[in-house]
């Protein structure tokens, strides 16, 4: 029979081993980046600068993203980016485009922000809520986009089934709590946006 001291020692070693294990997320997530100022130089070039930056599936990798070069510094503070840019965090395997099959019938909730630090805070809160699976309708979520713009920054939460009003309303309500927004926000269908850039929102919360 092992002595008490040996058991204590083995237990402590085991606990240390467990503590060292990375904290697995429910699923894989990918950061994407798009320098919109470059894209807009050519007609119909939307998405030509869209790049996958980094895929991760543990809490540790999320915080220590091995994103190359200067993008690393910006991923948690997108508003510091000097030009028009989009930062995305999407579920692994889903591309942040209307054309992706998971997004094709979807839409997005959008929040605008006039203050740069607000964009960064809302972005970080949303990232943590997504990887921490805070939404009841997690299956409905595609990802989030932070759009850094000179006039007004934007944050958009993309979801899968635009026609499922109940799911979108629940997600919209929850998201407002997470990012601490009191103003009304609107949900647009991608299908409407394809037809008309300034299409009206279909749901409000």
Is 197 near ligand MGP (CB under 6 A)?
yes
Task: Give the separation between CA 189 and CA 200, rounded to whole angstroms.
Answer: 9
Measured from the CB atom, the residue of 62 and 168 that comes closer to ligand MGP is: 168
Q: Is 149 in the site for ligand MGP (CB under 6 A)?
A: yes
Is 203 a binding residue for ligand MGP by CB under 6 A? The answer is no
Cβ-based nearer residue to ligand MGP, 90 or 98: 98
Picking from 60, 24, 160, 162, the residue whose alpha carbon sits closest to that of residue 101 is 160
For residues 68 and 55, is the Cβ–Cβ distance under 8 A?
A: no
The smaller minimum CB distance to ligand MGP, of residues 62 and 120, is found at 120
Whole-number minimum distance, CB 125 to ligand MGP, in Å?
21
- Looking at the Cβ atoms of 57 and 154, the one nearer to ligand MGP is 154
- Name the helix (H) or strand (E) containing 57: strand 51-58
| 38, 77, 97, 176: which one binds ligand MGP (CB under 6 A) | 97
Under the binding rule (CB under 6 A), the answer on residue 200 touching ligand MGP is: no
In this structure, how many other beta carbons lie within 10 angstroms of the beta carbon of residue 95? Answer: 19
Considering the complex, state which of residue 75 and residue 108 has its C-beta at the smaller distance from ligand MGP: 108
30 touching ligand MGP, by CB under 6 A: no
Contacts (Cβ under 8 Å, ≥6 apart) of 96? 32, 50, 86, 88, 90, 103, 142, 143, 145, 158
Q: How far apart are the first and last CA of the chain?
A: 64
Q: What's the number of CA atoms in the CB half-sphere (13 Å) around residue 155?
A: 28
Q: What is the spatial distance between Cα 33 and Cα 84, in angstroms, rounded to a whole number?
A: 11
- Does 147 bind ligand MGP (CB under 6 A)? Our answer is yes
> According to the binding rule CB under 6 A, does residue 98 interact with ligand MGP?
yes
Cα–Cα distance measured from residue 172 to residue 181, given in angstroms and rounded to the nearest whole number: 11
Q: 181 Cβ partners below 8 Å, 6+ apart? A: 111, 122
According to the binding rule CB under 6 A, does residue 38 interact with ligand MGP? no
Q: Pick the piece of the chain touching ligand MGP (CB under 6 A) from 1-9, 75-83, 97-105, 177-185.
A: 97-105
Q: Compute the least distance from the CB of residue 117 to ligand MGP, in Å.
A: 20
How many of the chain's residues bind ligand MGP (CB under 6 A)? 9
- Return residues touching ligand MGP (CB under 6 A): 36, 46-47, 97-99, 147, 149, 197
């Amino acid at each position: 029979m092992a002595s008490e001291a040996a058991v204590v020692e083995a237990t402590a070693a085991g606990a240390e081993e467990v503590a060292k294990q990375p904290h697995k997320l429910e699923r894989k997530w990918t950061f994407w980046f798009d320098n919109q100022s470059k894209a807009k130089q050519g007609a119909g070039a939307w998405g030509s600068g869209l790049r996958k930056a980094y895929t991760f599936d543990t809490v540790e990798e999320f915080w220590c993203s091995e994103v190359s070069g200067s993008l690393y510094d910006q991923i948690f503070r997108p508003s510091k980016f000097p030009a028009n840019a989009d930062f995305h965090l999407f579920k692994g395997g889903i591309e942040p485009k209307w054309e992706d099959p998971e997004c094709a019938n979807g839409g997005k909730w959008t929040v605008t922000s006039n203050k740069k630090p607000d964009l960064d805070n809302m972005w970080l809160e949303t990232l943590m809520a997504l990887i921490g699976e805070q939404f009841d309708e997690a299956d409905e979520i595609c990802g989030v986009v932070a759009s850094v713009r000179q006039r007004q920054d934007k944050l958009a939460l993309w979801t899968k089934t635009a026609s499922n009003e109940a799911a979108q309303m629940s997600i919209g309500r929850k998201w407002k709590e997470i990012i601490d927004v009191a103003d009304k926000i609107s949900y647009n269908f991608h299908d409407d946006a394809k037809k008309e850039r300034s299409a009206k929102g279909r749901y409000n919360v």
